[in-house]
């Protein structure tokens, strides 16, 4: 099929490249001429596995980039809208980019098109797109508006697209529903999985994926509700971790105990310093605003957000317990991205903590495998420097903080780290290590929802002095 994707940001770019991989002819549109020039030259502006390889494979063949929306729309039968929907200061979604696209579509449409929302948008957006297009003179039989939310996680977005748990197709007419089905037919028929894709099949992949057809409004709600539910799991387990700390229980054991109930599930029950990123924080506030507009006060969402914010305060309190005063302390920070596997620092809890540390007068030396360049652009302070490795960050440090769950941080050379640090104190905001192992390696170790651990000799010294 001939497909246009408007918006070459995170969602739009991954969708464009993956639609090409499914065999469609794709034009990816953006009004940022510089970005389009970069992409046309084969350069990928974001850090995402398999994206460079797939771009190279399809660029100039099934995939092209352009700033000309009119030409692209006229050449396509399906148009995906994947432009940004940033949060307003009040927390609801700013849909002005979506509205601008709807107007541009109205001026371009010459024959029947399906216009599909791919960005995360509040319920009723499809109706607004429809109204704007009608108001701008497009005849109602020339288009339908549908919703096809994405559930991509940064870092594994290409894999999530090609091997989804489910595909949600929200359409209110048979014609638009059939065209959406056709787009995803390579996945839903299983045909794609017999081809030789350069993206390896994940062990847990559901092949072929489930296709769920719904009304457009339900599809819009599915996206908001999915993200809110996942955020709720994280805040729930963080709240339980806080209780574990208070009563001396172990959150890992509790997670195992509850996560193995198939009704609950183990995934998204990892405690830590809270969720961040471009989706959860924004989508929760937007969902809250949607519910409020509809006359329902969704208090549970408020509580999810509050627990998430408290995790940062609690971590700072833990840091004070470990180091006493903070002014002038030299701290090594491992991780700046909002999670491992990405260079994205949007709403990153790690970055929030770094900002608090700087405010407290700490000297921070940070390392992140991918997010240092972005952080350098965003945060400049004489109290913040960057290191070339976790070990360079740890040199002479009074304490080391693990703030992002990068795989690289799960197997650090502990004896080397111990030797480099001035004081062997580790605060792990992602529970990457076994407390006993850390203690055996000479560290005083604090994590989330578990008792802190100390090296055996320190315990002996403490016991002696107590005696
Ligand atoms: C999320 C959704 O998962 C995805 O379906 C949607 O399309 C976009 O938003 P993403 O923002 O890429 O994806 O990150 P995700 O992997 O979901 O993690 C979100 C945040 O939650 C991260 O800060 C992560 O560290 C945190 N998290 C996740 C936890 O603290 N504990 C967990 O158990 C899981």
List, for residues 108-131, the tens digit of each pLDDT value: 999 999 999 998 888 889 999 999
Structure tokens at 354: 């770094």
The torsion of the CA quartet 33, 34, 35, 41, rounded to 10 degrees, works out to 110
Residue 165 has pLDDT above 90, yes or no: yes
Neighbours of 253 (CB within 10 A): 12
pLDDT range class, residue 458, cuts 50, 70, 90:
low
Taking the C-alpha atoms of residue 301 and residue 285, their distance in angstroms, rounded to an integer, is: 8
The per-residue pLDDT for 149 is 95
For residue 115, give the nearest of 147, 139, 67, 84 by alpha carbon.
Answer: 147
The per-residue pLDDT for 161 is 97
Instruction: Sort residue 170 into left (φ over 0), alpha (ψ -120 to 50) or beta.
Output: beta
Cα(274) to centroid(ligand 1), Å: 10
Taking the C-alpha atoms of residue 363 and residue 345, their distance in angstroms, rounded to an integer, is: 20
Nearest CA to ligand 1 atom 3: 153
Q: How many residues does the chain have?
A: 467
**Ligand 1, from 157, 223, 268, 343: best to mutate by most atoms within 8 Å of Cβ?**
268
191 Cβ contact partners less than 8 Å away, ≥ 6 residues apart: 185
Cα(424) to centroid(ligand 1), Å: 31
How many CA atoms are closer than 13 Å to the CA of 223, on its beta-carbon side? 29
* Range 324-346 average pLDDT: 95
Structure tokens at 346: 């949007």
Is 269 a pocket residue for ligand 1 (Cβ < 6 Å)?
Answer: yes
Q: Does domain 2-214 have CATH number 3.20.20.70?
A: no
* Range 222-230 average pLDDT: 96
Cα(78) to centroid(ligand 1), Å: 29
Distance in angstroms between the alpha carbons of the first and the last residue of the chain: 79
CB 375 within 8 A of CB 363: no
Taking the C-alpha atoms of residue 279 and residue 121, their distance in angstroms, rounded to an integer, is: 11
Centroid of chain to Cα 451: 29
Structure tokens at 55: 């771009």
- Between residues 236 and 196, which one has the greater pLDDT? 236
Question: Relative to the CA of 430, which ligand 1 atom is closest?
Answer: 30
Question: Relative to the CA of 278, which ligand 1 atom is closest?
Answer: 11
Q: Where in the chain is the domain with CATH 3.40.50.720?
A: 2-214, 308-446
Is 156 a pocket residue for ligand 1 (Cβ < 6 Å)?
Answer: no
Q: Are strands 384-386 and 444-446 parallel, antiparallel or unpaired?
A: unpaired
Alpha helix (H) residue ranges in 343-434: 349-359, 372-378, 390-394, 414-420
The per-residue pLDDT for 463 is 42
Fold of 223-307: 1.10.1040
Residue 369 has pLDDT above 80, yes or no: yes
Cα(106) to centroid(ligand 1), Å: 36
**Full-model pTM:** 0.94
For residue 87, give the DSSP letter: B
Token look-up 């608090």 returns 356
Nearest CA to ligand 1 atom 27: 275
Question: Relative to the CA of 348, which ligand 1 atom is closest?
Answer: 23
Taking the C-alpha atoms of residue 161 and residue 14, their distance in angstroms, rounded to an integer, is: 8
For 21-43, the pLDDT digits (tens) are 999 999 999 999 999 999 999 99
**Ligand 1, from 220, 223, 235, 280: best to mutate by most atoms within 8 Å of Cβ?**
280
Is 230 a pocket residue for ligand 1 (Cβ < 6 Å)?
Answer: yes
Cα angle vertex 15, ends 9, 16, to 5°? 85
The mean of the pLDDT values for the chain is 95
Nearest CA to ligand 1 atom 20: 275
Residue 310 has pLDDT above 80, yes or no: yes
Q: Where in the chain is the domain with CATH 1.10.1040.10?
A: 223-307
Taking the C-alpha atoms of residue 168 and residue 218, their distance in angstroms, rounded to an integer, is: 10
341: preceding bond cis by omega (within 30 degrees): no
Determine what percent of the chain is predicted with pLDDT higher than 70. 98
Place domain 308-446 in its CATH homologous superfamily.
Answer: NAD(P)-binding Rossmann-like Domain (3.40.50.720)
User: What are the residue numbers of the active site?
Assistant: 279
Is 277 a pocket residue for ligand 1 (Cβ < 6 Å)?
Answer: yes
């Amino acid at each position: 099929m001939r497909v246009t994707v408007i918006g070459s940001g995170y969602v739009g770019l991954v969708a464009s490249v993956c639609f090409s991989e499914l065999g469609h002819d794709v034009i990816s549109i953006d009004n940022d001429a510089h970005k389009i020039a970069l992409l046309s030259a084969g350069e990928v502006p974001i850090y995402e596995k398999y994206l460079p390889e797939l771009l190279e494979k399809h660029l100039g063949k099934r995939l092209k980039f352009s700033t000309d929306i009119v030409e692209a729309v006229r050449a396509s039968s399906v148009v995906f809208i994947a432009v940004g929907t940033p949060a307003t200061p009040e927390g609801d979604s700013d849909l002005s980019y979506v509205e601008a696209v709807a107007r541009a579509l109205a001026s371009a449409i010459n024959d029947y098109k399906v216009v599909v929302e791919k960005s995360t948008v509040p319920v009723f957006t499809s109706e607004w797109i429809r109204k704007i297009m009608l108001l701008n003179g497009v005849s109602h039989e020339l288009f339908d508006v549908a919703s096809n939310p994405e559930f991509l996680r940064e870092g594994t977005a290409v894999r999530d697209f090609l091997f989804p748990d489910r595909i949600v197709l929200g359409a209110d007419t048979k014609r638009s529903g059939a065209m959406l089905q056709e787009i995803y037919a390579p996945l839903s028929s299983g045909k794609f999985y017999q081809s030789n894709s350069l993206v390896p099949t994940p062990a847990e992949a559901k092949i072929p994926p489930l296709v769920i057809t719904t009304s457009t409004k339900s599809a819009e709600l599915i996206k908001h509700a999915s993200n809110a539910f996942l955020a709720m799991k994280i805040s729930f387990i963080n709240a339980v971790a806080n209780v574990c700390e208070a009563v001396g229980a172990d959150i890992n054991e509790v997670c195992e105990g509850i996560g193995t109930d198939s009704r609950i599930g183990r995934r998204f029950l990892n405690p830590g310093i809270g969720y961040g990123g471009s989706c959860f924080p924004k989508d929760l506030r937007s969902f809250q605003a949607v519910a409020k507009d509809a006359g329902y006060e969704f208090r549970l969402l408020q509580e999810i957000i509050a627990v998430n914010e408290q995790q940062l305060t609690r971590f700072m309190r833990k840091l004070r317990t470990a180091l006493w005063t903070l002014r002038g302390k030299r701290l090594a920070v491992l991780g700046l991205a909002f999670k491992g596997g990405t260079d994205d620092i949007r709403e990153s809890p790690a970055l929030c903590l770094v900002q608090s540390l700087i405010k407290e007068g700490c000297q921070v030396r940070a390392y992140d495998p991918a997010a240092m360049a972005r952080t350098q652009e965003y945060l400049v302070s004489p109290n913040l420097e960057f290191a070339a490795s976790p070990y360079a960050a740890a040199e002479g440090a009074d304490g080391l903080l693990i703030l992002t769950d990068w795989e690289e941080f799960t197997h650090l050379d502990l004896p080397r780290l111990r030797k480099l640090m001035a004081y062997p104190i580790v605060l792990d905001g992602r529970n990457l290590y076994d407390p006993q192992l850390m203690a055996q390696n000479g560290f005083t170790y604090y994590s989330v929802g578990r008792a802190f651990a100390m090296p055996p000799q320190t315990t002996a010294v403490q016991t002696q002095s107590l005696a």
